[in-house]
Chain A
Amino acid sequence: MAGRAEALPAPGHGARQGIDTALVGMLLFIASEIMFFAGLFGAYFNIRAEHTVWPPQGFELDLGLAAVLTVILVSSSFTMQYAVSCIRKGDRTGMVRAMTVTVILGVIFLCGQLYDYASLGFGISSGVYGTLFFTMTGFHGAHVLGGVIGMSVVLLRGINGQFSARHHTAVEAVSIYWHFVDVVWIGLFSTLYLLR
């Protein structure tokens, strides 16, 4: 008979070596999110291929604002990674500071996006280009919002003294998610603004 205790991993915790179970869950979730956005990008390129004039007449985007927002979101990935490296070393104060900056950058991005929406000359119902633009950036924005909320929760837990060099799965998980949101934006920015 095998040893008894070793055969009984507690649910929800990495009983075996390797990546933490929660992180495996997050990575799998990201995989499904990638496929979700793949569906949106697929729709974009499918419809784009059907049109000879693209974007159709009368759809002007604010490249300058989008470029600034891109810089903001990409920098937030770096501050996020800095927060992770702090907590890996056990530096909770550094993590809280870097995470605060990340949350603020995320909020600035969202505000900039809303400003952009308000000032654009078209809406979701003004033809297929408007539908694509607002759907793709809108779903991305919703993910940014989700990330900001998730980071805020982690931040509050950090302020309350949780997390250490050994136990900080939530920080790792939220950082993976945030990098993913960032990468999606880079894809969106390239597709919608650069490859016009």
Chain B
Amino acid sequence: MATTVLAPGATRTYRRSALYEWLTTTDHKKIGILYLTNSFLFFLLAGLLALVIRSELAVPGLQFVNSSTYNQLFTMHGTTMIFLVLMPFLAGLGNYAVPLQIGAADMAFPRINALSFWMLPLGGILMFSGFFFGGAAAEGWTSYSPLAQAKYSGSGTDLWIVALLLIGTSSILGSINFLATIFKLRAPGMTLLRMPVFVWTVMVTSLLILLATPVFTSGVFMLYIDRNFGGAFFDPASGGNPILWQNLFWFFGHPEVYILILPAMGVISEVVPVFSRKPIFGYKAFIFATLLIGGLGFSVWAHHMFTTGAVYLPFFSLTTSLIGVPTGIKFFNWIATMWRGKISFATPMLFAVGFLSTFLVGGLDGAILASPPVDFALHDTYWIVAHIHFVFFGGTMFGVFAAAYYWFPKMFGARLDEGLGKIHFVLMLIGTWVTFFPMHLLGLEGMPRRIADYSPAAGWTDLNTVETIGSFIIAISVLPFMWNVFVTLRGPRDAGDDPWDGYTLEWATTSPPPPYNFDHLPPIRSERPLFDLKYGHGARRALPSASVATTQEGAS
């Protein structure tokens, strides 16, 4: 009954400073926003590294950096984007949205939640400090041994190892927290098969993190022992095996790819139905596909090792091919959700459509790479670079921005400006295609990845120049977004509780929600409790609710 007075802030007789409040918070919403802010800062940093990389490659010759620095740049770009940008972006979205979407007051272990977050900036600073202590790690984000052994690399690699141990622990603790929250703190009526798709994807992702990351942690410890205590795990000269590192790394590294894409798919599965004004098409099939991707994800790791001559190719080829099926199911479900809907193109939906049309290429690339002979030709070329960027940038980053525009009004009570949002979207879409699509062609022409320079005689100059231009378009596209956040936060907080006519529980509370989230909850009888509340449970063609319709912006 009188539940909100239990909120600690209400009983305080004095106010602590806002900074102290943010540094010590255990509120999942504030921690979520901390995650997102931290990820965005590292996104800018990793983006700067990418701009230096692209500038260096624009024309033949070493103009800006030498090859050692170049190797550090792409190593740090890759590691940062994966471990300090994409993963924490999704963890931040999960932190913010999951308790709200399942009608919980907070995460299961709020203090561990804060601990998980604070390990990230610490790890990031440690890793980047390598630049000031004789060079950062320079062996690529995959850090293959023997190159990563002490004999062939500098102390930046040790910082990289320690940082990844911190970040890995952070994600393991985070995944335990998500799973315990989802298993134990769902509101009455919120059965597993009524959970929003986003919650499902966070749950499967957490399972993947829980089971895959510790294997990576053990491998990273082994690398540390090799480098610092005279160990011989990956050193063939002392009886070790360099392929062992690749097995340990990719046993984690491939599930990691799904860790990075599944929650983004979850975001798309929230945004597309709401803006199409229809339920997600084939909810159960979607859940099934998510579980299948998660399960198959543990049996495909060696497709990163087709050219090592050390793995059984047909098995990993088959499992990798099969993973295309659940991904395909999702695509058809999204399209069928839009089909005969009434779609409004607010910025979240634009980014969702951008995700569909761009991630598609990354998915098809993956199906082609599942064939070992084709992989012999394309592996370690720019074709692979194209593939991962279509998946992670065209996929995950579009999903992250869709989520940012979608949940911003919930987080801050104000909607981001639509005009600036559309400029952001158009520039980012163009930039993505211009930067990453030509990489396919360069890969087919034989340009290997991770090279600081190429010969003018190779004929790769024109496409590289185009890509560099594209990368600057992407960089520029971020500026309207930052301006948008800045001006929106200075403006009135007038978005209302439910600006998008949403379906899920987060829109049933105030914007921003109070501490412990809910004053009361609507009854939960389907995966769209708020829709049921507004239009009636089981509505097929219900009458519009006038109060909601007035907050809607029509198609523009």
Q: What is A's interface to B at a CB cutoff of 8 Å?
A: 1-2, 4-12, 14-16, 18, 21, 24-25, 28-29, 31-40, 42-43, 46-47, 50-51, 56, 123-125, 127-132, 135, 139
A46 to B244, CA, bound (A): 7
- Chain A residue with Cβ nearest B524: A2
Q: Please list the 8 inter-chain residue pairs (A to B) with the smallest Cβ-Cβ separation, ordered nearest first.
A: A125-B230, A39-B218, A128-B239, A11-B106, A36-B214, A35-B214, A39-B215, A131-B231
Which A residues are CB-close (under 8 A) to B523?
Answer: 1-2
Structural contact, A2 and B176, CB atoms closer than 8 A: no
Binds A, one of B17-25, B185-193, B342-350, B434-442: B185-193
Contact of A28 among B105, B180, B186, B213 (CB under 8 A): B180
Structural contact, B214 and A127, CB atoms closer than 8 A: no
A6 to B215, CA, bound (A): 40
Binds A, one of B320-328, B361-369, B513-521: B513-521
Given known contacts A11-B105, A31-B210, A51-B239, A38 and B520 CB-to-CB distance under 8 angstroms: no
Cβ of B87 to closest chain A Cβ, rounded Å: 16
Residue of B104, B180, B235 most packed against chain A (CB within 10 A): B180
Q: What is B's interface to A at a CB cutoff of 8 Å?
A: 1, 3, 103-110, 172, 175-177, 179-180, 183-189, 210-219, 221-222, 225-226, 229-233, 235, 238-241, 244, 247-248, 251, 516, 518-524
Structural contact, A135 and B230, CB atoms closer than 8 A: no
Contact of A32 among B183, B214, B520 (CB under 8 A): B214
A137 to B109, CA, bound (A): 31
Given known contacts A6-B188, A11-B110, A39-B214, A131 and B232 CB-to-CB distance under 8 angstroms: yes
Q: Can you list 13 A-B pairs, Cβ within 8 angstroms, ordered by A?
A: A7-B520, A8-B3, A12-B106, A15-B184, A18-B184, A25-B176, A32-B213, A36-B218, A39-B216, A125-B231, A131-B232, A135-B221, A135-B231
Which A residues are CB-close (under 8 A) to B180?
Answer: 21, 24-25, 28
Structural contact, B247 and A124, CB atoms closer than 8 A: no
Cβ of A176 to closest chain B Cβ, rounded Å: 14
- Chain A residue with Cβ nearest B247: A46
Structural contact, B185 and A11, CB atoms closer than 8 A: yes
Cβ of B205 to closest chain A Cβ, rounded Å: 14
Structural contact, B218 and A7, CB atoms closer than 8 A: no
Structural contact, A32 and B218, CB atoms closer than 8 A: no
A128 to B238, CA, bound (A): 6
A51 to B244, CA, bound (A): 14
Contact of B230 among A38, A124, A132 (CB under 8 A): A124
Which B residues are CB-close (under 8 A) to A139?
Answer: 221
Given known contacts A28-B210, A29-B176, A46-B247, A36 and B215 CB-to-CB distance under 8 angstroms: yes
Structural contact, A8 and B176, CB atoms closer than 8 A: no
Contact of B219 among A39, A47, A51, A128 (CB under 8 A): A39
Structural contact, B176 and A7, CB atoms closer than 8 A: no
Which B residues are CB-close (under 8 A) to A51?
Answer: 239
A5 to B230, CA, bound (A): 59
Structural contact, B107 and A11, CB atoms closer than 8 A: yes
Cβ of B66 to closest chain A Cβ, rounded Å: 34
Contact of B211 among A7, A32, A40 (CB under 8 A): A32
Cβ of A37 to closest chain B Cβ, rounded Å: 8
Which A residues are CB-close (under 8 A) to B177?
Answer: 25
Given known contacts A32-B213, A125-B230, A131 and B240 CB-to-CB distance under 8 angstroms: yes
Which A residues are CB-close (under 8 A) to B241?
Answer: 46-47, 50
Q: A42-B247, A125-B229 are in contact. List 5 more A-B contacts (CB 8 A).
A: A12-B109, A25-B108, A36-B214, A135-B233, A139-B221
Which B residues are CB-close (under 8 A) to A36?
Answer: 214-215, 217-218
Which A residues are CB-close (under 8 A) to B222?
Answer: 43, 135
Cβ of A16 to closest chain B Cβ, rounded Å: 6
Structural contact, B184 and A16, CB atoms closer than 8 A: yes
Which B residues are CB-close (under 8 A) to A8?
Answer: 3, 105, 516, 518
Contact of A1 among B186, B215, B522 (CB under 8 A): B522
Given known contacts A2-B188, A2-B520, A11-B110, A127 and B218 CB-to-CB distance under 8 angstroms: no
Cβ of A120 to closest chain B Cβ, rounded Å: 15
Which B residues are CB-close (under 8 A) to A4?
Answer: 1, 3, 519-520
Which A residues are CB-close (under 8 A) to B244?
Answer: 43, 46-47
Contact of A40 among B175, B218, B519, B520 (CB under 8 A): B218
A187 to B438, CA, bound (A): 51
Contact of A2 among B189, B216, B221, B238 (CB under 8 A): B189
Structural contact, A9 and B104, CB atoms closer than 8 A: yes
A24 to B185, CA, bound (A): 12
Structural contact, B232 and A32, CB atoms closer than 8 A: no
Which A residues are CB-close (under 8 A) to B218?
Answer: 36-40, 43
Given known contacts A12-B108, A24-B180, A7 and B172 CB-to-CB distance under 8 angstroms: no
A50 to B248, CA, bound (A): 16
Cβ of A18 to closest chain B Cβ, rounded Å: 8
Which A residues are CB-close (under 8 A) to B524?
Answer: 2
Given known contacts A1-B522, A4-B1, A32-B172, A24 and B214 CB-to-CB distance under 8 angstroms: no
Structural contact, B225 and A10, CB atoms closer than 8 A: no
A34 to B213, CA, bound (A): 11
- Chain B residue with Cβ nearest A28: B176
Contact of B240 among A9, A11, A40, A128 (CB under 8 A): A128
Cβ of A108 to closest chain B Cβ, rounded Å: 27
Structural contact, A32 and B176, CB atoms closer than 8 A: yes
Structural contact, B212 and A35, CB atoms closer than 8 A: yes
Structural contact, A124 and B108, CB atoms closer than 8 A: no
Which A residues are CB-close (under 8 A) to B214?
Answer: 32-36, 38-39
Structural contact, A7 and B248, CB atoms closer than 8 A: no
Which A residues are CB-close (under 8 A) to B518?
Answer: 7-8
Which A residues are CB-close (under 8 A) to B215?
Answer: 35-36, 38-39, 42
- Chain B residue with Cβ nearest A14: B184
Structural contact, A131 and B105, CB atoms closer than 8 A: no
Which B residues are CB-close (under 8 A) to A31?
Answer: 210-211
A139 to B231, CA, bound (A): 14
Which B residues are CB-close (under 8 A) to A123?
Answer: 230
Which A residues are CB-close (under 8 A) to B188?
Answer: 2, 6-7
A124 to B222, CA, bound (A): 11
